[in-house]
Amino acid sequence: MNTNPELPIPISYIAGNYFIFSVDAATFLRREHNICGILAGTLPQVPQQNVFTGLPLELMPEEARFLVEEGVACIVDEVNFQKQGMQSLVEEDCKKYLKELESQGIETMQMLLRHKERQKEGALKKIAEKKATKAKKAELKQAASDATADDSASPFFEDSQPSTPSQVSSRRSSTLGSRDAMRITPAISHPPLPQQPPAEHLLPLPQVPSSYPLFAHLHSKGYFLFPGLRFGCQYLAYPGDPLRFHSHFLVVSTLWDEELDLMKIISGGRLGTGVKKGFLIGGTDKNLEESSDAGSNVRTFSIEWAGM
């Protein structure tokens, strides 16, 4: 299952948002770089269903920035890349691609048929076995009561022997034509477009809010960060994968000399304690040397209600 995507991972910049469309990339980022993002895709048929969302994965600008700085990903101007890429496709490439899709569809259909057959065979076998044991029991009973009449059960279940259906249907599936092929909707556009977009479609580092140093600082300490809207803060910091841990902190970033309402500390601290979390406030210390890695000059304070 450890399929590592080709680096750098292209992050699609669409209408001001950052998206990842590949499953491999999404799992890789979560597994190796503690970046979860938010699954933003709904089913085309049921767009109002928003509990179980799927790809694409939407990233916060901070996450996108961090990945680019780490050299793991690059930002792609997806709209232009798609437009120009599709226009520059040669007729032959198009045909080849469609052909490929079709053969994939046929393959999938064959797999499906084979699976169905196997299921059918299994079910038939079970039925036959059941009948056989029943017949045996009946036979034994009859043998005990009447030794002469013993040919009533055996012809009945000989009939129900599977008449080698696998050969029949495999013959059928091998002759599947293009009309039987399953229609495939590709989720990614490479191929036909190249996996790594050409340099002219790459964008510079994403713009990030002033809380980015704090984000980088917490991320470097191994925290997983989520948007904090649900608790009225900037980030939620989880000590490990959010599927395994409750979050530890409601995080709010502030500038070093920005005036801070003490009431904010109280409300954050009180809310945090009420939901078994700490309230974390932090920002870049102007007096500390800025080093190469972002977030190393950040100071943080954790706040909890004292209960008195």
Partner 1 sequence: MAKPTPSPPIPNPSALTTFISSRPTTSATTLQVLHNLQYQHLWTSLKIHDLQTAFPISLVSGLPPHRVYTHPDEQLYMVEHGLREEDIELDRMFVLPTVQGEPWSLEKMAAVFDALPNIGEEGLRSETQPSDAVQGSAGADKAAKLAEYYEYRAKGHRTKEWGGKRLLLAMIDKGMGGEGTVVYYVVQEGTVKPRQN
Binding site for partner 1 (CB under 8 A): 218, 221, 223, 237, 239, 248-249, 254-263, 265-266, 269, 272-273, 276-278, 280-283, 285-286, 299-308
Q: Measured from the CB of residue 276, what is the shortest distance to partner 1 in angstroms?
A: 6
Indicate the residue among 120 and 299 with the shorter CB distance to partner 1: 299
Q: Measured from the CB of residue 267, what is the shortest distance to partner 1 in angstroms?
A: 11
CA distance 232 to 265: 12
The residue annotated as part of the active site, out of 201, 219, 248, 277, is: 277
Indicate the residue among 197 and 213 with the shorter CB distance to partner 1: 213
CA distance 205 to 207: 7
3-state secondary structure of 216: helix
The residue annotated as part of the active site, out of 18, 212, 235, 238, is: 238
The residue annotated as part of the active site, out of 115, 125, 130, 246, is: 246
CB 214 within 8 A of CB 295: yes
Indicate the residue among 173 and 254 with the shorter CB distance to partner 1: 254
Q: Which long-range contacts (CB under 8 A, 24 or more apart) does 178-183 make?
A: 178/102, 178/106, 180/106, 180/109, 181/102, 181/103, 181/105, 181/106, 181/108, 181/109, 182/105, 182/106, 182/108, 182/109, 182/112, 183/105
CA distance 289 to 248: 28
Q: Distances in Å between the alpha carbon of 105 and those of 21, 97, 148, 176, 267?
A: 21, 12, 59, 10, 57
State CA 41 to chain mean position distance: 10
Q: Measured from the CB of residue 282, what is the shortest distance to partner 1 in angstroms?
A: 7
> Which has the closest alpha carbon to 11: 53, 87, 72, 54?
72
Residue 212 appears among annotated catalytic residues: no
Residue 190 appears among annotated catalytic residues: no
Indicate the residue among 6 and 304 with the shorter CB distance to partner 1: 304
Indicate the residue among 6 and 285 with the shorter CB distance to partner 1: 285
Residue 277 appears among annotated catalytic residues: yes
CB 36 within 8 A of CB 30: yes
Indicate the residue among 65 and 277 with the shorter CB distance to partner 1: 277
The catalytic residues are: 238, 246, 277
